[in-house]
Amino acid sequence: MPEYTGYRGTSLEFLKSNNLVVGDSVKITSDLTYSGIIMPRYEHQDDKHIVLKLNSGYNIGLDLDQISKVEKLSSSEKIRNIEQKIKKNPSLPNILLLSTGGTIASKVDYRTGAVTPILTAEELNSSVPELSKMANIDTEVLFSEYSENIMPDHWLQIANKLVEFADSKYSGIIIAHGTDTMHYTSSFLSFALAGYPIPVVLVGSQRSSDRASSDAALNLIGATRFLVECKTNGVYVVMHHDESDETISCHYGTRVRKNHTSKRSAFETIGDNPAYLIIDDKIQKNAKDDYFKTSEFTPKINLDARVALVKYYPGYRADLLEKIIDMDYRAIIFEGTGLGHIGKILYDNVKKAHEKGIFLGMTSQCIDGRVGMTVYESGRDLLNLGIVPLENMIPEVALVKAMWVLGNSDNPEEIKKIMLENISSEMSK
């Protein structure tokens, strides 16, 4: 029953006896007096607590044995967002927002207490009214997935949808995406849609829209401003630059990674400054080169996911690599130590993989810097065994690029050539 989602046993009886359901606004006296909205519970939790969303946006669990008084302030049926129809302004540019999931394009449904996807332009305007003053925004939901559940097939779905709008009225496209795997998606789109004629930005939120410290609205505002005012193309990730609300970063989709679990400034450009910064509503260009200005847009929306990312560590077992080699993988990207090394315990396996025609690429575990496999003897040995150094390509980006390259070529020499070609600034100068 949606009105009691996650509640069972004692907690369910508590709600029923007090004539309460999920989404009701209440005042509860326990150790302190709390006001908020009754939220759904995680179904595997105990039945001795209820969950309350406070006015600050944070959730709190209250022990039923400690509750001395409950006052129902209003019913969930009376707490609704009033969404007004938006009239498009013909003088404003047009933006498309494609939602794939994550908290960035979500809102709190106060009828149920749950966080739900934003489905319409009206809902988006209700959540971030500043956007309607900057652009006419159309919305479409492609799918709704936590980002850890987004797979290569989803990348294909997003890319094919973007191709539909390559010659459209839109000045740019926003992709609302969960943060955990956002840089994987941005990498694939950068390769598959190289030369796309309008800018595409992926936007996420580290903190949900119901929290006072949420970055959702400001990231969306920054992304929209970037698309409206910056005359460029290519694929970018747009997120908070630091913990303040004054600067938004626009990162190349192939030079960015998530470097913190929870900070609003979790995303950073590796090895350089962000391509663009939005500071106090003004756009500052840092990019020295523009790799996206190709003469023709020819989408190559193919991939082969038979690529392994192997993180080498002391104690890595050779039989693990042996299993990968025997599992019909077509490429292995090593995340090696330092300048690009793996232990000699794997040399025989590397030789076998090379002889089998598997592409072998080397990246580094180091956050910054460039692979240099000619400096030490061990690196030169690996070069002789067929491993290809991938400059300063981020390991996850190299993984995605290899999937894309293998989806577009079966020729070993061509695969190596494209992996070393700078398609979309994945290797910075």
Catalytic annotation present for 232: no
Catalytic annotation present for 179: yes
Q: How far apart are CA 62 and CA 122, in angstroms?
A: 35
Could you tell me which of 318, 340, 337 has the C-alpha nearest to residue 387? 340
Contact, 223 vs 202, CB < 8 A?
no
DSSP lists the bridge partners of residue 137 as: 95
Length of the chain measured in residues: 429
Catalytic annotation present for 293: no
Catalytic annotation, pick one of 181, 258, 272, 401: 258
CB atoms within 10 A of CB 408: 16
Lookup: tokens for 237: 């990730």
Catalytic annotation, pick one of 179, 224, 232, 363: 179
Give the burial string for 270-303 (b: 16+ CB within 10 Å, else e).
Answer: bebebbbbbeeeebeeebeeebbebeeeeebbeb
Q: Angle 225-228-234 (CA atoms, 0-180°, nearest 5)?
A: 95
Q: How far apart are CA 84 and CA 210, in angstroms?
A: 20
Contact, 222 vs 257, CB < 8 A?
no
Q: How far apart are CA 75 and CA 103, in angstroms?
A: 25
String of DSSP letters for 166-209 = TTSS-SEEEEE--STTHHHHHHHHHHHTTT-SSEEEEE--SS-T
Catalytic annotation, pick one of 24, 53, 100, 103: 103
Pairing of the two strands 33-38 and 25-29? antiparallel
Contact, 146 vs 71, CB < 8 A?
no
Backbone angles phi, psi at 235, to 5 degrees: -115, 130
Catalytic annotation present for 374: no
Catalytic annotation, pick one of 47, 109, 180, 381: 180
Q: Active-site positions?
A: 103, 179-180, 258
